[in-house]
Structure 1
Amino acid sequence: MPEVKAAAKVRPVDAAWAFALRAGLAVAIPLVVLVAAGHPAWAGVATFGAFTALYARDEPYPRRARVLTAAATGLIAGVFAGTAAALAPQPEPFGTAAVAVVGGAATLLCGRFRVGPPGGLMFAFATAVTSAMPATPTDLWRHPLLCAGSALLAWLIAMTGALIDRDAPMRLAVARALRAAAALSTAPAGTAGLLARQQAAAAIERAWRAVPPDRPAEALLIARAETELSGVHGHRPEAAAALRSLADQVARRGPAPVPETEQAETDEVLGRRIYALLLREPGPRRPGPVWPAAARVALGALAAGAAAGVLAHVTGLGHPYWAALSAVAVLQADSLRLTLHKSIQRAAGTTIGLFLAGAAVALPGDHWTLVAAIAIAQVCAELLVVRNYGLAMLAITPLALLVGELGKPTPAADLIGDRLVQTLLGCALGLIAAALVRNRAAARHLDEAIDEVTTATTALRRDRSDATGEARRLALLLLTLREAYGVASGEPGLDPGVTEQVLTAERAGRQVLAGRRDGPSGLSGSTA
């Protein structure tokens, strides 16, 4: 089955260890402090603040600081909502409602501001677990305070790299843009290779955002990637090898490499750079439809939580919040196809991961054993999640159970049985929610994006009176087109001919931007 094969695909990664170790350290320090102080139950709550470090993993430090601050605020709010639900007369239905509201709101905001993985999941996770923990009125302020303290620590750990190597995110972004452009040499032609071209365009756009105006050498490297993306010279294997070599060089500390080029190619590359520079500060972009994703999360969490509650009442099965959380997890995707992939990955990964979880929970020892196991599981999860979500579940499954054990110990056999049934239930109901709440606005948004790119391309080709403004607008519309296609192509019922329209519109727009080497008045001299 093609979708199973796609779900099992393992992605290549780079620079994963630094992020994984940051995340493990952010989790381990508050756990060690609170367990040493004799408050292991508090340590479980503090773990949620440490999840702040999971966001903005490769962002430049100014944006990273903003995203981490927002993530910390959301996690504190999630812990407060979960604790309030735990104090309700009937915690389970209130907890399910809290998970649905927090998960839906977090998904909406993460989509609106393009926060990226893990999206709204960790906020729902914090809400779900705290809603199932024993609580007193004092915990209504104590739990958010513990979360805030560990979130502050996680923020500092994630930002400490700025003191050591402030340019590391920039170099990583440039290297990824070069490698993504190099990958086009082996991508199939036509619509079959559209995904590779979309990925290269996204990597190049992120690189332009990461490079400051006073770094012409790095900017020239990204312009070389732009040239490869345009395909004006064809995608030759020797050009791809040169791009990969440049990527390896720029990823290391030190001066950026200067590519050897002929004068004609240098002029062309600089011309491309003039207009690609417009992507650095693009201003606001019209967002795609984010309400369907948020509605899917809320509906899926409510349905899964309600079904799990009924199942718990009939059979005595525990931890019904796991079903709601699983629904939220698989619905952190832009389309129905990606939701199907996540459902397959989470169900398969959890089933296998439960063997590891059983061994971890049954480990002899005290709370220090749990602390060590949680830190190790966190590092392993972050190393694997960028490769494949299903592989990451091999570590995430023990991690979730161990965090719950700190706050509320439960026999291992009960944990494993509850986790398996509730996860499968949540995945199934999350997938049903994705199928019921159709994102019909996605196709309409894509059609509008194609029309706008075509109109802007024609206007820029004809009118040179406002080259800077028109080029900026077209650059923004191309980014919107790429995002719109990524969502619409994963929804059922998309006209097959639309893919060719996207290819044609994108190719024409990029050629116009790249070909206007005259640039705005005086710009060529300032960027050479």
Structure 2
Amino acid sequence: MSDPVSPATVPHDLRAAVRVRPADAAWAFAFRAGLAVAVPLVVLIASGHTAWAGVATFGAFTALYGRDEPYRRRAVIVAFSAAGLVASVVMGTLAALAPHPEIVGVAVIALIGGAATLLCNRYRVGPPAGLMFAFAAAVASALPATASSVPRNAALTAAAAAVAWLIVMSGALVAPDAPRRLAVARALRAAAALHTAPAGPPGLQARQQAALAVDRAWRAVAAGRWAAAGASAGPGDELRAEEILVAHAENELSGVHGRSAEVAAELRALAARVGPRGPIPRLRATPAENARIAERRLGASLLRDLPTPGPGTPRRPLWPAAARVAFGALIAGAAAGVLVHVTGLSHPYWAAVSAVAVLQTASLRLSTQKAIQRAGGTIVGLLLAGLVVSIPGGPWMMVAGIVLLQVVAELLVIRNYGLAMLAITPLALLVGELGHQTPPLDLIGDRLVQTVLGSLLGLAAALLVRNRAANRYLAEAVTAVEIGTDALRRDPADPMLEARRLALLVATLREAYDVAAGEPGLQPEITARVLEAEKSARDSLAVLTHPNKAA
């Protein structure tokens, strides 16, 4: 595979950067995010504490995490995100008290950005991952502060985060099964999209995305089955219907249906009928689908019951991504600081935050696409920002603008990050300016220069800090799956233990390929080897489930 930023692949990255993805269930999440921001802002401004509103906003950003997770996992993710945002604001406020807050602030942004990226990757916390923690620390480090600001800012952030947690979890009272059903519908849509997938690398990427969607759906249904253990027959019947739908999608992924236009239309129609509430479409499972369901149930239970990964499980490399973020924030912040002294610009932390944003991706190729989106979206977004920041009306107009822009940003970000920057750019300006005013032209000029600088230097950091461990991790994962498959087929003394390990290794292999596919140096033949190793492993697990079935 050629280098992701070589001239031959730049057009592909440009096309990927401007592609608008379909979105579902966006309005509910966007509304929750807007409400979480609105509540603390309205309370503080109504009570006459406008200067405190900007800090409280960062607690409200807790609502941006755990977007589509099942409610039990979402509760944990959002709670820990809230704690992280409080810690980030405290560290940023302490940086503002330092003798040289600009220098210390950049170091804090780099430290928090790297640490948050490491932890988010470790515990598989999705977007916006480490970005909001770095943003919170950055703005807090730029605000005027005294010793009393530290406990006050911590309390404001924590209170807003608590409100956001309640808002995010409120959906469990109305549609507790909605996240699981959404995962099932997405698996069906992703499988249907394979009908029009192009040949070559884009087609392989589409298949990879479909495989990930199917895997997420299986995990969601398995979690629902564990939660419903001991419940009435109703939930069990519903979960069985969902399992059949996911098996139907996986058959299309495997090519069993032939990927015809008729089957793709059927899958899309089924997805449209899987709503957050109401009846689930009922299909009669084929023998192959029954076998697949039994295999997936076994694999899910094996992964759940596995006490330790075992000595043969490759370890996921977490440090390269964290090092990229920390290094990118440092060099972007340092360059912006020099630029401030030379040209008189301000807001150097924007460059550091832009670098962190560009590097919140799984691979170098995705960082390239995100740099294009952030720089391009910011340039266009500043035209809108110029209008927004110059509108008269005082703090209440700013609150209305922040809430509206937050909703719009969340509606757009899952479709295209560059489009979302049209709303994120003025949103960031308004949040940073709550409680104090900067001339609009100065503000826009600072944002343009610092964002472009940060995006370019963030991409440079991605090029300099190469994730060479990604290809090694993939090679180790493929080999481990092949060895695990062979061990299970040799009639081991403890077949269930070997099956547990193999189920974990298959999940590890899929994850390793997702990262390595976006890094340079991946050999084309490794894809065929990955697919063959995964198929052989699942065949072996199916034989364990159905001993009379041929391998």
Deviations 1:48-87 (A, max 9, x none): 0000000001100000000001100000000001100111
Q: Check conservation: 2:109, 2:137, Cα contact below 8 A.
A: yes
Residues 1:425 and 2:425 aligned together: no
Deviations 1:365-409 (A, max 9, x none): 110000000000000000010011111100000000001110331
* Structure 1 residue aligned with 2:41: 31
Residues 1:298 and 2:326 aligned together: yes
Q: Check conservation: 1:467, 1:519, Cα contact below 8 A.
A: no
Task: Identify the range of structure 1 (74-83 vs 480-489) with the bigger mean alpha-carbon deviation.
Answer: 480-489
Aligned mates of 1:269, 1:480 — CA distance in 2: 20
* Structure 1 residue aligned with 2:373: 345
Structure 1 segment 111-510 matched on structure 2, within 5 A = 111-188=121-198, 192-211=202-221, 212-213=224-225, 214=236, 215-261=239-285, 264-265=287-288, 267-278=290-301, 281=304, 287-463=315-491, 466-510=494-538
How far residue 128 of structure 1 moved from its aligned partner, in angstroms, is 0.3
Task: Mark the runs of 5 or more structure 1 residues left unpaired by the alignment.
Answer: 521-528
* Structure 1 residue aligned with 2:21: 11
SS in 1 for 2:434: helix
Aligned mates of 2:398, 2:356 — CA distance in 1: 26
Aligned mates of 2:245, 2:438 — CA distance in 1: 55
Q: RMSD over aligned Cα, in angstroms?
A: 2.0
CA gap 1:150/1:455 in 2 versus in 1, 3 angstroms: same
CA gap 1:6/1:436 in 2 versus in 1, 3 angstroms: same
Aligned mates of 2:274, 2:56 — CA distance in 1: 38
Q: Which of 49, 54, 79 matches 2:59?
A: 49
Q: Check conservation: 1:377, 1:399, Cα contact below 8 A.
A: yes
Q: Check conservation: 2:379, 2:448, Cα contact below 8 A.
A: yes
Q: Check conservation: 1:322, 1:419, Cα contact below 8 A.
A: yes
TM-score for both structures, normalised by structure 1: 0.94
* Structure 2 residue aligned with 1:526: none
Q: Check conservation: 1:220, 1:269, Cα contact below 8 A.
A: no
CA gap 1:272/1:136 in 2 versus in 1, 3 angstroms: same
Aligned mates of 1:223, 1:448 — CA distance in 2: 29
SS in 1 for 2:304: coil
Q: Check conservation: 2:330, 2:352, Cα contact below 8 A.
A: yes
How far residue 347 of structure 1 moved from its aligned partner, in angstroms, is 0.3
Q: Check conservation: 1:209, 1:280, Cα contact below 8 A.
A: no
CA gap 1:322/1:289 in 2 versus in 1, 3 angstroms: same
How far residue 224 of structure 1 moved from its aligned partner, in angstroms, is 2.2
TM-score for both structures, normalised by structure 2: 0.90
Deviations 1:70-117 (A, max 9, x none): 100000000001100111111100111110101010001001111010
* Structure 1 residue aligned with 2:228: none
Aligned mates of 1:461, 1:200 — CA distance in 2: 28
Q: Check conservation: 1:301, 1:327, Cα contact below 8 A.
A: yes
Q: Check conservation: 1:181, 1:229, Cα contact below 8 A.
A: yes
How far residue 281 of structure 1 moved from its aligned partner, in angstroms, is 2.9
CA gap 1:366/1:280 in 2 versus in 1, 3 angstroms: farther
> Counterpart amino acid of 1:194?
L
Task: Identify the range of structure 1 (370-379 vs 229-238) with the bigger mean alpha-carbon deviation.
Answer: 229-238
SS in 2 for 1:281: helix
* Structure 1 residue aligned with 2:85: 75
Q: Check conservation: 1:350, 1:393, Cα contact below 8 A.
A: yes
Q: Check conservation: 2:96, 2:145, Cα contact below 8 A.
A: yes
Aligned mates of 1:451, 1:293 — CA distance in 2: 24
Aligned mates of 2:461, 2:126 — CA distance in 1: 22
SS in 2 for 1:371: helix
Deviations 1:320-378 (A, max 9, x none): 11111111110111111111111110000000000111100000111000000000000
Task: Identify the range of structure 1 (196-205 vs 271-280) with the bigger mean alpha-carbon deviation.
Answer: 271-280
Q: Check conservation: 1:112, 1:287, Cα contact below 8 A.
A: no
Task: Identify the range of structure 1 (446-455 vs 223-232) with the bigger mean alpha-carbon deviation.
Answer: 223-232
How far residue 462 of structure 1 moved from its aligned partner, in angstroms, is 4.2
Deviations 1:475-527 (A, max 9, x none): 3222211211121121222223222222322233334444655169xxxxxxx
Q: Check conservation: 1:278, 1:475, Cα contact below 8 A.
A: no
> Counterpart amino acid of 2:136?
A
Task: Mark the runs of 5 or more structure 2 residues left unpaired by the alignment.
Answer: 1-10, 226-235
CA gap 1:287/1:169 in 2 versus in 1, 3 angstroms: farther
CA gap 1:350/1:279 in 2 versus in 1, 3 angstroms: farther
How far residue 467 of structure 1 moved from its aligned partner, in angstroms, is 5.0
Aligned mates of 1:397, 1:12 — CA distance in 2: 22
Task: Identify the range of structure 1 (134-143 vs 222-231) with the bigger mean alpha-carbon deviation.
Answer: 222-231
Q: Check conservation: 2:302, 2:499, Cα contact below 8 A.
A: no
Aligned mates of 1:94, 1:34 — CA distance in 2: 29
CA gap 1:301/1:407 in 2 versus in 1, 3 angstroms: farther
Deviations 1:432-468 (A, max 9, x none): 1111111111111010011011122233344386554
* Structure 2 residue aligned with 1:524: none
> Counterpart amino acid of 2:445?
G
* Identical residues among aligned pairs (%): 63
Q: Check conservation: 2:358, 2:458, Cα contact below 8 A.
A: yes
Aligned mates of 2:453, 2:104 — CA distance in 1: 19
How far residue 195 of structure 1 moved from its aligned partner, in angstroms, is 1.6
